[in-house]
């Protein structure tokens, strides 16, 4: 069998930052995200009794496969399968967008590998499986808005779709710097948990914010959705900054964009900034305001991408 699946990346409105169990990837807080339309990963998996090891090719280049193999071990254990697999992945993320994400990668791998191994998992089970590859991947199983419940254990930590919102949400991505990350988010997350005196405050506040976000989305209160989005990101980055050694993903141009967003709001443009594990800024806005947001960033005209809500992870092709 050969199975191909497609998964889209997601951007968290309420962030995930910190694992309380690194092996099972159980987070300290719930998180809420928007899956995006334009950025996705296609992954093909073929379990094959003739193989003597797993192989992994990413965008045409053979890669060492320890993380992929460890993930496939979870699938093999569930399916009681004793075969290696050929894994081929293609990232459809605009080159150098700085958005390449483990979220779409492990969501696509979870679906393609589990299907190819003969499993027929529910979305909830797929989300739990994807979580074991990368936390944010648990959310990419779903289209549109999703919430990843922190849960109590492996069985109860999974994402689910939130009801569709009436808000025409858009993300304007400002590519401040497309270079590779100076520090991996996994490593920095662990260091924030271990050394930031603000981490416990972050946890308490962010869990509450996740609940508030669900309400703000349900009532289509964009001002509240935006405020909560910006605060979750700002507070995550504050906790990171307060780690030892002190560290920040902010670059001078990152701050420039934050200030531009504040100016936009002062002018009545609905726009809120959010950042992940890197210097790029994503501006949450509404469809009718996209052109005004873009026009307010004259220095970044050639470094803007606009994305809207994207679909759930799906099987593209199954062949015998
Ligand atoms: C998020 N990020 O909620 C947060 C906000 C980055 C900043 O999830 O270690 O690749 O694989 O579970 O999911 C990036 O971290 O981390 C991330 P692992 P992941 O989107």
* pLDDT tens track for 176-229: 987 777 788 899 999 999 999 999 999 999 999 999 999 999 999 999 999 999
User: Which pair of tokens denotes residue 217?
Assistant: 């989305």
Pocket (CB within 6 angstroms of ligand 1): 12, 15-17, 25, 31, 102, 134-136, 185-186, 276-277
Per the CATH hierarchy, to which homologous superfamily does domain 169-307 belong?
GHMP kinase, C-terminal domain (3.30.70.890)
> How many angstroms does the Cα of residue 184 sit away from the middle of ligand 1?
10
Q: What is the mean pLDDT of the chain?
A: 96
What would the pLDDT profile of 239-256 be if each residue is shown by its tens digit? 999 999 999 999 999 999
10 Å CB burial of residue 100 (0-12, 13-18, 19+) is buried
Q: How far apart are CA 297 and CA 294, in angstroms?
A: 5
Average pLDDT over residues 48-71: 96
Domains of the chain, by residue range, sit at 2-165, 169-307
Q: Tell me what pLDDT residue 136 has.
A: 97
Q: Tell me what pLDDT residue 177 has.
A: 86
Q: What is the dihedral of CA 254, 229, 36, 270, to 10 degrees?
A: -80
Q: Domain 2-165: which topology?
A: Ribosomal Protein S5; domain 2 (3.30.230)
Q: How far apart are CA 314 and CA 171, in angstroms?
A: 23
The verdict on ipTM greater than 0.95 is yes
With the most atoms of ligand 1 within 8 angstroms of its CB, the residue from 127, 135, 141, 192 to mutate is 135
> pTM for the full model?
0.97
- Whether 210 and 14 have beta carbons less than 8 Å apart is answered as yes
Q: Tell me what pLDDT residue 97 has.
A: 60
Residue at token pair 């492996």: 154
**DSSP letter at 98?**
S
- Whether 98 and 177 have beta carbons less than 8 Å apart is answered as yes
Average pLDDT over residues 116-125: 98
């Amino acid at each position: 069998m050969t199975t191909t699946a497609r998964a889209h990346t997601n951007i968290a409105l309420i962030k995930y930052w910190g694992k309380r169990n690194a092996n099972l990837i159980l987070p300290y807080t719930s998180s809420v995200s928007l899956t995006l339309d334009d950025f996705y990963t296609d992954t093909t998996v073929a379990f094959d009794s003739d193989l003597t090891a797993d192989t992994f090719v990413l965008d045409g280049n053979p890669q060492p496969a320890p993380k992929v193999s460890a993930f496939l071990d979870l699938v093999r254990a569930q399916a009681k399968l004793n075969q290696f697999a050929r894994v081929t992945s293609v990232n459809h993320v605009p080159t150098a967008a700085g958005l390449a994400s483990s979220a779409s990668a492990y969501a696509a791998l979870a679906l393609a590998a589990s299907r190819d191994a003969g499993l027929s998992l529910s979305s909830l089970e797929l989300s739990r499986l994807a979580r074991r590859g990368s936390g944010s991947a648990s959310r990419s199983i779903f289209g549109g808005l999703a919430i990843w419940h922190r849960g109590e254990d492996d069985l109860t930590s999974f994402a689910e779709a939130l009801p569709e919102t009436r808000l025409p949400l858009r993300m304007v991505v400002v590519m401040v710097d497309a270079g590779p990350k100076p520090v991996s988010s996994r490593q920095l997350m662990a260091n924030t948990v271990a050394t930031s005196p603000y981490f416990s405050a972050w946890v308490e506040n962010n869990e509450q914010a996740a609940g508030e976000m669900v309400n703000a989305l349900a009532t289509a209160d964009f001002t509240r959705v935006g405020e909560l989005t910006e605060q979750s990101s700002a507070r995550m980055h504050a906790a990171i900054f307060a780690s030892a050694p002190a560290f920040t993903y902010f670059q001078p141009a990152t701050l420039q964009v934050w200030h531009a967003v504040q100016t936009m709001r002062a002018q009545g443009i609905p726009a809120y900034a959010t950042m992940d594990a890197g210097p790029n800024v994503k501006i949450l806005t509404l469809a009718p305001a996209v052109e005004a947001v873009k026009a307010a960033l004259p220095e970044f005209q050639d470094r803007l991408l606009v994305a809207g809500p994207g679909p759930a992870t799906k099987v593209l092709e199954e062949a015998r």
